[in-house]
Structure 1
Amino acid sequence: MTVQLYARDVGSGTPLVLLHAFPLSSAMWLAQREGLASRFRVVTPDLRGFGGSVLGDDEPSIDAMADDVARMFRTLGVQRAVVGGLSMGGYVAMALCRRHPDLVLGLVLAATRATADAEPVREARLRQAERLERDGATKVLVDEVLPGLIGPTTLQRRALIYGRVRGLVQATPPLAAAWAQRAMAGRREAFETLRNLRVPALVMIGDEDALATEDEARAMSDALPNAELLVIPRAGHLCAVEQPDLFNQAVAEFAAALARTSR
């Protein structure tokens, strides 16, 4: 079936499409919608099954998620956009670059990686997917995924942010989370896509990220023909949520420069 994504669409100017992390929804981009909509058209879709978007009956795949986003571009009348993705959203953004390169004006990759899953990670995803389907509850995500999403500085000093992220994880539909875990487990590596990218890119990583590493961010930056790498201090995996001002400033400067050169 064809899935139409629910998307929040605010502001005007150069379109900025932001793709959320697992196992959250577009609600994670609240500070980006508030901080960037005065300068850009900020579009934050819920990927299929999450938030306000239905899951559909397709086989789990990151490519299907990328095609959903491409369909959303057409529905909203967006011809090209700066596309940003954090973690799972980064996998979808890279697949969009491979399958629909004409839609991408610039690429922002945060807390993600271009490699396929190592076998232990893949096995953990599939085990969690089975448990999500069996239990019909998010306990496995709260127990096993949530601890890696937030850095120690946020845990110690930003209790409200941790509480908000925990609430978003608990609100995740279990079947959508299972589908997404299977999609991520089956994804291919994306270095060829990055090497062939014809638009500028910004790669970001939190210096306290326990799930993606600075080495992996550097490998993506090195593979891209035109990229800059930014390490965000005192931020874990959800760097856009933990350090929104630094994240927004970097994205705004990157997107503004692109808007100037693409006129």
Structure 2
Amino acid sequence: MTQSPSALSVRESGTGTPLLLLHAFPLNAAMWSAQLDALPGRTGDEARVLAPDQRGFGGTALGTDEPSLDLVADDLALLLDAAGIERAVVGGISMGGYVALALARRHPDRLAGLLLANTRATADTDAVRTNRERIAAAVLARNSVQLLLDEQVAAGQLGPDSQHLVERVQALVAAAPPAAVAWAQRAMAARPDAQDVLAGLRVPVAIVAGAEDALVAVEEAELMARLRPDAELTVIPGVGHLSALEAPEAFDTAVRKLLARVAAG
């Protein structure tokens, strides 16, 4: 894997169809290790997989801008420019899905296809926004992400068949800087409803959900599928909120089907 010439830290492998994978909150691009190994294919030319660290996470600096997923989307457009990529298939999981939809709204011409996993197109409710601010304020005040380890990992982030991944997920969460966690929470809280963006996007769409996702209900995936009757919906049994980690083979199958649809035009 190589480093792409961009201000974003990015893991990259393969030489085929450009595939941009956007990680979940509050993880980083290391969550995509299985996809970076598998999705380029045996000959390496099935997909050119790029997995960037979003602002503040992994090896990417947070900067001083006010929280906004629009800025994260603009970062990705610049990354594609730097990598010499005109259009890419974009796959986002959880927060990465929100960013993918922001990219589709701000730079629709950069998308060749869209995969949305364990995410939603609707905006936050007032209750969710209030909780995001509670978390943001607490991690900053304590200069610690222990609150996320206590609440989020234990609250259904992983499905019943994925408890062997608890330590790995805890390590990824623990690596998140408190400032990045707070920034991302506030950016997610401020994001607009994206149902019209999803409905109007003129590229192939795939949707993935975990049947046991306690953070984003399967009904959210079904709503997105109703907005896009042409989308292929995959609900993975026994899987929680991190489908790409929990069931990489099923997740990768959905990605490959999307790549084939894009290639077929």
TM-score (norm 2): 0.94
Summarize deviations over 1:227-250 as a string: whole Å, max 9, x none: 111101111000110000110111
Q: State the distance in 1 between where 2:16 and 2:77 align.
A: 19
Does 2:139 align with 1:135? no
Cα deviation, residue 225, structure 1: 5.5
User: Aligned partner of 1:251: which letter?
Assistant: V
Q: State the distance in 2 between where 1:200 and 1:14 align.
A: 14
Cα deviation, residue 120, structure 1: 1.5
Q: State the distance in 2 between where 1:187 and 1:4 align.
A: 23
Q: How does 1:222-233 map to 2 (within 5 A)?
A: 222-224=226-228, 226-233=230-237
Report what 1:50 is aligned to.
57
1:154 is paired with a residue of what secondary structure? Answer: helix
Asked whether the equivalents of residues 107 and 200 of structure 1 are also in contact (C-alpha less than 8 Å), the reply is yes
Structure 2: 5+ residue runs without aligned partners? 1-5
User: Aligned partner of 1:151: which letter?
Assistant: G
> Which of 21, 25, 38 is the equivalent residue of 2:24?
21
Root-mean-square deviation (CA, aligned residues, Å) is 1.1
Summarize deviations over 1:39-62 as a string: whole Å, max 9, x none: 210000000000000001111011
Cα deviation, residue 224, structure 1: 2.2
The worse-fitting range, judged by mean Cα deviation, of 224-233 and 85-94 is 224-233
Q: State the distance in 1 between where 2:239 and 2:221 align.
A: 14
Report what 1:220 is aligned to.
224
Q: State the distance in 2 between where 1:259 and 1:56 align.
A: 37
Q: State the distance in 1 between where 2:211 and 2:264 align.
A: 30
Report what 2:190 is aligned to.
186
Summarize deviations over 1:180-205 as a string: whole Å, max 9, x none: 00000111110110111101100110
Identity %: 51
> Which of 74, 78, 84 is the equivalent residue of 2:85?
78
> Which of 100, 105, 112 is the equivalent residue of 1:105?
112
Summarize deviations over 1:60-85 as a string: whole Å, max 9, x none: 01111111111110011111110000
Asked whether the equivalents of residues 208 and 254 of structure 2 are also in contact (C-alpha less than 8 Å), the reply is no
2:172 is paired with a residue of what secondary structure? Answer: helix
User: Aligned partner of 2:260: which letter?
Assistant: A
Does 2:210 align with 1:210? no
Report what 2:159 is aligned to.
151
TM-score (norm 1): 0.95
Does 2:12 align with 1:9? yes
Q: State the distance in 1 between where 2:131 and 2:244 align.
A: 25
Asked whether the equivalents of residues 20 and 86 of structure 1 are also in contact (C-alpha less than 8 Å), the reply is yes
**How many corresponding residue pairs?**
255
Structure 1: 5+ residue runs without aligned partners? none
1:12 is paired with a residue of what secondary structure? Answer: coil
Asked whether the equivalents of residues 198 and 225 of structure 1 are also in contact (C-alpha less than 8 Å), the reply is no
Q: How does 1:251-262 map to 2 (within 5 A)?
A: 251-261=255-265
1:105 is paired with a residue of what secondary structure? Answer: strand
> Which of 254, 262, 265 is the equivalent residue of 1:250?
254
